[in-house]
Amino acid sequence: MTFEYAPAPESRSIVSIKPKYGHFINGSFVAGKKHFPTINPATEEILSHIALGGVSDIDKAVMAAQKAYTKTWSKLSGKERGKYLYRIARILQERAREFAVLETLDNGKPIRETRDIDIPLVAAHFFYHAGWADKLDYAGLGHNPKAYGVAGQIIPWNFPLLMLAWKVAPALATGNTVVLKPAETTSLTALLFAEVCQQAELPDGVVNIVTGDGSTGSAIVNHSGIHKIAFTGSTEVGKKIARAIASTDKKATLELGGKGANVVFDDAPVDETVEGIVNGIFFNQGHVCCAGSRLIVQESIAEEIIEKLKVRMAKIRVGDPLDKNTDLGAINSKEQLVKIKELSAIGDAEGAERWSPQCNLSDKGFWFAPTIFTGVTQANRIAQEEIFGPVLSVLTFRTPQEAMDKANNTPFGLSAGIWSEKGSRIFWASQHLKAGVIWANTFNKFDPASPFGGYKESGWGREGGKHGLAAYLKNGKETGAK
Ligand code: NDP
């Protein structure tokens, strides 16, 4: 039975968007020279104009961050730094609704997700790292661990404010200062976060936000005043960054792409598994680096799982991201929609069978119905390449070893899921899967205490937890620093 839902739109009146934004440097907003529009991907409405930062803006931001590091931030005790992080976390909670609505408008993701997942996790990251700030000497991170100085941070558009929190919270907790560039299509919540820094009376220059495009990101990577790079985005740009810093002493964490395998054994609880598959690939429109974008299901139960999955997919509500009933929102940009369409057409041409439920998609904005491809083989591009959209490739297996071989047969190694009732099978599989994050009988669960990162082309290093802190600290013991 399908329920009809009356529209339940969240009001956007809580959000006030300026017609034009500058950069946030040294505690103040400074005017940009050139600007580009940022749009609501659900309606194509222009929301505002964002400054295009150049080399000189990055230079000013790095100088401000260096000064803040030397004169203020490095002189504060961990306990004092922690107080600022707690204050930011509390303000984020107080302004959660404003952030959720703004993120939904700028990104296209459903309000249900920004309200219940993104923004609560953002606050949780600041709370978690606030607690670490005065305990670094006792955390097994080496003797008297020291900050690098200025961290350059470049973030993507799929979880704009959450990726900012993953980067800024550990950097500040460990005593670094920051120059951050948000993604071109989703800068608005980062600019609102700049206001939170002012409200929290964070010392000037500790956080600097320069908006722009790839060239702005490249200026951060190549700036000699930056000693640590933290990047989340495509493997292609990750490789460019790795090449750019190869001959320097810059440290880097790179969180890149994925093609996560969701492995379903014949003893898996069917209904829970179907929910987990839906959450694995259709959460956040599939714009998730660790999405379960390959379903690898045991042949004997494949038919039943796919049949139930189709019934479940027909109930996914696609539409207005601000409607509290919506499950699947808009694709973040025209470019991303083109990429999803192209790769899906390649799936058709390679002989896989496409299925989507009937959806009434709006003519305005960027939309793609939840889609599965069955009959996919390992050689198909839709089994190897990151589509980064609501598209699931289904493969089958007969023996557990075949499942592991197929799961590991991509250039990536970021995430995987295992569905089985047997603990022994889960432990066996988790030892054979080459993935940085493995979920058992669940998917897409995140916690600030849990390190996140990948193998192979999924990147370098870990973010989150104690591992994530280590990435922002010179080990006093190793460098001989006092
Ligand atoms: P990018 O990797 O291009 O963007 C990530 C961030 O890097 C953005 O802030 C971007 O700026 C910036 N950037 C772009 N070029 C450079 C450069 N040369 N040096 C430094 N920074 C740079 O991802 P896209 O947005 O282009 O998405 C392309 C594909 O990447 C997607 O289809 C998806 O497959 C994958 N992707 C993966 C993500 C993940 O979390 N693993 C996240 C986002 C995308 P700007 O936005 O201005 O271009």
User: Residues 279, 122, 206, 191: is their CA dihedral positive or negative?
Assistant: positive
According to the model, what pLDDT value does residue 133 have?
Answer: 97
Cα 271 to averaged position of ligand 1 atoms, centre (Å): 35
CB 152 within 8 A of CB 220: yes
Q: Which atom of ligand 1 is nearest to the CA of 240?
A: 18
Test site for ligand 1: of 180, 237, 336, most ligand atoms within 8 A of the Cβ: 237
According to the model, what pLDDT value does residue 2 have?
Answer: 63
Q: Does the predicted TM-score (pTM) go above 0.95?
A: yes
Closest alpha carbon to 268 in 374, 400, 395: 400
String of b and e for 351-362 (b: at least 16 CB within 10 Å)? ebeebbbebeee
Q: Which of 10, 255, 385, 457 is catalytic?
A: 255
Cα 429 to averaged position of ligand 1 atoms, centre (Å): 32
Which residues of the chain, if any, have pLDDT below 70? Answer: 1-2, 476-482
Q: Which of 289, 290, 457, 463 is catalytic?
A: 289
Q: How far apart, in Å, are the Cα atoms of 302 and each of 242, 276, 307, 308, 410? A: 41, 15, 8, 10, 22
Q: What residue owns the CA closest to ligand 1's atom 9?
A: 183
> Is 299 annotated as catalytic?
no
According to the model, what pLDDT value does residue 479 have?
Answer: 37
Q: Which atom of ligand 1 is nearest to the CA of 220?
A: 20
The answer to whether the CB of 221 is under 6 A from ligand 1 is yes
According to the model, what pLDDT value does residue 4 have?
Answer: 80
> Is 402 annotated as catalytic?
no
Which residue intervals of 269-350 are DSSP H helices? 270-282, 299-313, 334-349
According to the model, what pLDDT value does residue 5 have?
Answer: 86
Range list of β-strands (E), 146-188? 146-147, 150-154, 177-181
Closest alpha carbon to 365 in 102, 100, 112, 106: 106
3-state secondary structure of 122: helix
String of b and e for 410-427 (b: at least 16 CB within 10 Å)? bebbbbbbbbbeeeebbe
CB neighbours of residue 299 within 10 Å: 12
Which DSSP symbol is given to 388?
-
Rounded to an integer, what is the distance from CA 208 to the centroid of its chain? Answer: 20
Residues composing the chain: 482
The answer to whether the CB of 257 is under 6 A from ligand 1 is yes
Q: What residue owns the CA closest to ligand 1's atom 22?
A: 214
The answer to whether the CB of 332 is under 6 A from ligand 1 is no
According to the model, what pLDDT value does residue 1 have?
Answer: 60
